[in-house]
Amino acid sequence: MLLIVDMNYRKDSVGYYEFVLPIASSIKDLEEYTIRHYSELSRTDIDRYSRIILSGNALEDKQVLTQIEDFAWVGTCEKPVLGICAGMQAIGLIFGSPLKRCLELGMTWIRTVKRNPLFFSSFKAYELHGYSIQPSEELDVLAESEKCPQAVKHKKKEIYGVLFHPEVRNREIIRRFMDL
């Protein structure tokens, strides 16, 4: 079963409709899922699921990044994880990659720079972020835009981050993640 982690500023927020439900609708025919807010997750909860997606959040929402200790479980997680936007930023911080200012809004060209099972070649994707990450040595960069890293993967684990929003355009990326 898939766990979708709500990364919005609080549980049951207005951002839930925009950043969480579209992920759920991307995979609803593929697998059962549960949605939980990041603040209410424990290690025991994580162990119950086969894979995990961390949602994005609003452009002005910095709340989750001030509570990065809530994501310590990502560092030892052996299951497939996909972080979207704020989810990628959280994965970056957990693996020692500081945030780097990079504002991108709207449809943007993405170029694949390392072979991976989620996407290939160049494609346009929907962006809504004020920060990317400066990837540490623990992460491989999989894709870039003209401005900054757009996708990363942990070198030894099935932990991925994408800065763009595949639940808006390129939903097949989420479906491929479900096949990992």
Partner 1 sequence: MRLAVLYSGGKDSMLALLKAAEKEEVICLISMVSKNKESYMFHTPNIKITRLQARALELPLIRRLTEGKKEEELKDLREAIRRAEEKFKIEGVVTGAVESVYQAERIQKICHELRLWCFNPLWKKDQEELLEETMRKGLKVIISGVFAYPLDKSWLGKHIDKEMIGKLVALQQEYGISPSGEGGEIETTVLDAPLFKKRIEIMDFNVESDGNSGVFQIRKARLTEKCY
- Per rule CB under 8 A, is residue 75 in the interface with partner 1? no
Q: Which is nearer to partner 1, 22 or 135 (CB)?
A: 22
> Of these residues, 77, 85, 102, 148, which one is catalytic?
85
Pick from 1, 30, 72, 103 the residue near partner 1 by CB under 8 A: 103
Pick from 35, 41, 49, 58 the residue near partner 1 by CB under 8 A: 58
3-state secondary structure (DSSP) of residue 50: coil
- Per rule CB under 8 A, is residue 65 in the interface with partner 1? no
* Residue 172 annotated to the active site: no
Give the distance, in angstroms, between the CA of residue 94 and the centroid of all CA atoms in the same chain: 13
Instruction: Give least dist CB 22 to partner 1, A.
Output: 4
Closest CA to 160 of 145, 179, 140: 140
Beta strands in the chain (DSSP E): 2-6, 33-37, 51-54, 81-84, 99-112, 122-133, 139-144, 149-154, 159-162
Catalytic residue numbers read 85, 165, 167
